[in-house]
């Protein structure tokens, strides 16, 4: 480096100074001799010097006159000093290289150029589309794999702004910087790292990701000088953390039947009524005779849309004591606070996970407010009215139709088939000689208790009084209805598992739910 050359030059200057000293010494001696030689005739001419004084001047001149051997010795000494100085310079520069300071990477705000692309748009702090101290919201239907992290390259660095060498050495012209691979990691707000298949999940509705997510991007790099020793800098890490969240919303109202019986959410049939199967994703449309499937308001595994596309009302429009559903949010349920705004007599409860429990029949609309914890100015309201049909199931008490009528206080208090199910067979005309055909409910808002709440038993709704039938045989999951069969000896019943309609003799024992 320049420092090496400067130090070597200094040694040469010191050696040259010794040679100059010898030369000056010889010159002084000759000068003194010449002065005395001129002084003697000057003295006689102008001052009439006495003889003894002239004798002393003559003697002094002779004494100062250097002998040939003395002059030669001084000349040789001068040459030796010059040669020794040159050798000293060569020795200093060849036997030990003087090591200077390594170059440095001046990071400045270069890490701000870390970023990612979503739907063709590049986001970074450097271009103003992101700020590391703020949360950036994106469409909740995106997955983490949709965030394409950009590879950091040397073109992101400037040879003037990002390079420094205190010894003055310039950056290497061919490779001023060496940039290693770019790495990144995703974490949720609890510090849990998100890996594997979780990166394929949408970040929004029902993802379970605690928001905001943290995206950490890192790249290591080094700087290189042109000639210096050492010419390589220490490794420097350019790191950037961005906070990302899905746009907040109430996504779904999820009946607890999905949790209790996730594999029995809807039934489907072939066109001839054959091949009855649960959760067949290839058969989701309602059949005009057999029913089944679900409307576009229902999303498998999540429940009913908070903003329905078909129904003018929100789920639920029906209810019973012990009915339970969850308001499914974007991200994690724990990112929010839940509050019931109008709740006379604590007829409705909600917990910290957004789980709503209907204890008693409300008097009208219920509104729930969901507030984002990290920003209390962000909140969403959800309003529903579960009073269009309110039933009071009578636990596991099996009884005849007459006993059911008595239990409920009259036939007017026994639910009709349409209160239970929206099966195409739920409204058979009187005096029609109906023969059983395969049928089931269609999952829909306003389609009756079973169509809304799904597989309705004690497992799905443990706080209720629905039956605890398991693998029901011989109609053990049927509930009496007020619909009369043409024979007047049979009554229609509704199956609490899938809302299918059948007819049984009035003496047969079935379960009972009364109108509330």
| Structure token digits, residue 135 | 């949360």
CA separation (Å) from 385 to 217, 449, 500?
48, 13, 25
What local confidence, expressed as pLDDT, does residue 125 receive? 97
Q: Which residue has the higher pLDDT, 74 or 351?
A: 351
What is the chain's percent helix, strand, coil content, to nearest 5? 25, 30, 45
Summarize pLDDT for 358-395 with one digit per residue, the tens: 999 999 999 999 999 999 999 999 999 999 999 999 99
**Location of structure tokens 């969403």:** 380
**Residue range 142-149: average pLDDT?**
98
| Structure token digits, residue 136 | 């950036």
Query: What is the rounded CA–CA span in Å between residue 6 and residue 2?
Result: 6
Where residue 472 falls among pLDDT bands split at 50, 70, 90?
low
240 within 8 A of 111, measured Cβ to Cβ:
yes
**Residue range 90-119: average pLDDT?**
78
| Structure token digits, residue 323 | 């009915």
460 within 8 A of 256, measured Cβ to Cβ:
yes
Query: What is the rounded CA–CA span in Å between residue 246 and residue 106?
Result: 35
Residue 92 pLDDT > 50: no
What local confidence, expressed as pLDDT, does residue 435 receive? 86
Summarize pLDDT for 239-276 with one digit per residue, the tens: 999 999 999 999 999 999 999 999 999 999 988 888 88
**Residue range 466-476: average pLDDT?**
78
**Residue range 345-365: average pLDDT?**
95
Residue 431 pLDDT > 90: no
Residue 137 pLDDT > 90: yes
Where residue 152 falls among pLDDT bands split at 50, 70, 90?
very high
Summarize pLDDT for 183-216 with one digit per residue, the tens: 999 999 999 999 999 999 999 999 999 999 999 9
Where residue 37 falls among pLDDT bands split at 50, 70, 90?
very low
Summarize pLDDT for 276-316 with one digit per residue, the tens: 899 999 999 999 999 999 999 999 999 999 999 999 999 99
| Structure token digits, residue 110 | 């270069």
What local confidence, expressed as pLDDT, does residue 159 receive? 87
User: 317: number of CA atoms within 13 Å, CB side?
Assistant: 16
What local confidence, expressed as pLDDT, does residue 24 receive? 43
Q: Which residue has the higher pLDDT, 292 or 86?
A: 292
**Residue range 431-448: average pLDDT?**
91
What local confidence, expressed as pLDDT, does residue 473 receive? 66
**Residue range 81-106: average pLDDT?**
57
pTM: 0.76
CB under 8 Å to 172, separation ≥6 — which residues? 224, 225, 226, 231
φ and ψ at residue 296, rounded to 5 degrees: -70, -5
Residue 399 pLDDT > 50: yes
Where residue 8 falls among pLDDT bands split at 50, 70, 90?
very low
What local confidence, expressed as pLDDT, does residue 98 receive? 58
Across all residues in the chain, what is the average pLDDT? 84
| High-pLDDT (> 70) share of the chain, % | 80
Query: What is the rounded CA–CA span in Å between residue 49 and residue 239?
Result: 96
What local confidence, expressed as pLDDT, does residue 54 receive? 41
On the 0-12 / 13-18 / 19+ scale of CB atoms within 10 A, 324 is buried
Helical segments of 373-468, H only? 401-408, 417-420, 449-453
């Amino acid at each position: 480096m320049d420092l090496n050359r400067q130090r070597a030059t200094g040694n040469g200057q010191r050696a040259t100074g010794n040679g100059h000293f010898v030369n000056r010494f010889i010159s002084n001696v000759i000068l003194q001799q010449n002065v005395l030689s001129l002084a003697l005739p000057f003295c006689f001419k102008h001052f009439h010097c006495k003889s003894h004084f002239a004798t002393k001047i003559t003697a002094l001149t002779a004494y100062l006159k250097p002998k040939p051997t003395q002059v030669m010795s001084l000349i040789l000494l001068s040459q030796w000093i010059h040669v020794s100085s040159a050798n000293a310079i060569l020795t200093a520069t060849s036997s030990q290289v003087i090591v200077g300071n390594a170059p440095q990477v001046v990071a400045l705000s270069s890490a701000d150029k870390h970023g990612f692309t979503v739907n063709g748009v590049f986001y970074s702090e450097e271009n103003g589309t992101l700020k590391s101290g703020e949360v950036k919201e994106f469409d909740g239907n995106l997955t983490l794999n949709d965030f394409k992290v950009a590879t950091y390259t040397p073109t992101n660095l400037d040879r003037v702004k990002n390079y420094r060498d205190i010894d003055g050495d310039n950056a290497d012209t061919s490779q001023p910087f060496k940039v290693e691979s770019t790495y990144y990691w995703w974490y949720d707000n609890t510090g849990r790292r998100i890996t594997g298949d979780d990166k394929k999940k949408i970040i929004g509705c029902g993802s379970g990701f605690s928001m905001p997510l943290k995206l950490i991007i890192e790249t290591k790099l080094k700087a290189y000088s042109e000639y210096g020793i050492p010419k390589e800098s220490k490794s420097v890490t350019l790191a950037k953390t961005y906070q990302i969240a899905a746009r907040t919303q109430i996504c779904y109202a999820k009946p607890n039947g999905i949790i209790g019986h996730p594999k029995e959410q809807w039934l489907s049939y072939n066109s001839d009524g054959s091949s009855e199967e649960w959760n067949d994703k290839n058969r989701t449309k309602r059949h005009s005779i057999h029913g089944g499937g679900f409307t576009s308001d229902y999303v498998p595994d999540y429940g009913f849309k908070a903003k329905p596309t078909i129904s003018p009302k929100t789920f639920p429009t029906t209810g019973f004591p012990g009915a339970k559903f969850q308001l499914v949010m974007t991200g994690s349920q724990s990112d929010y606070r839940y509050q019931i705004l109008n709740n006379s007599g604590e007829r409705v409860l909600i917990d910290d996970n957004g789980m709503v429990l209907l204890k008693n029949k409300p008097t009208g609309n219920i509104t729930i407010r969901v507030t984002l914890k990290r920003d209390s100015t962000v909140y969403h309201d959800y309003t529903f009215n579960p009073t269009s049909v309110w039933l009071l199931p009578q636990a596991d008490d099996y009884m005849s139709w007459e006993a059911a009528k008595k239990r409920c206080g009259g036939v007017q208090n026994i639910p009709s088939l349409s209160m239970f199910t929206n099966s195409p067979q739920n409204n058979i005309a009187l005096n029609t000689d109906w023969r059983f055909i395969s049928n089931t409910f269609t999952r829909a808002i306003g389609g009756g208790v079973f169509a809304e709440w799904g597989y309705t038993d004690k497992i799905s709704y443990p706080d209720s009084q629905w039956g605890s039938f398991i693998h029901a045989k011989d109609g053990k999951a049927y509930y009496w209805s007020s619909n009369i069969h043409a024979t007047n000896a049979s009554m229609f019943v509704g199956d609490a598992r899938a809302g299918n309609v059948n007819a049984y003799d009035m003496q047969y024992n079935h379960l009972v739910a009364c109108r509330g």
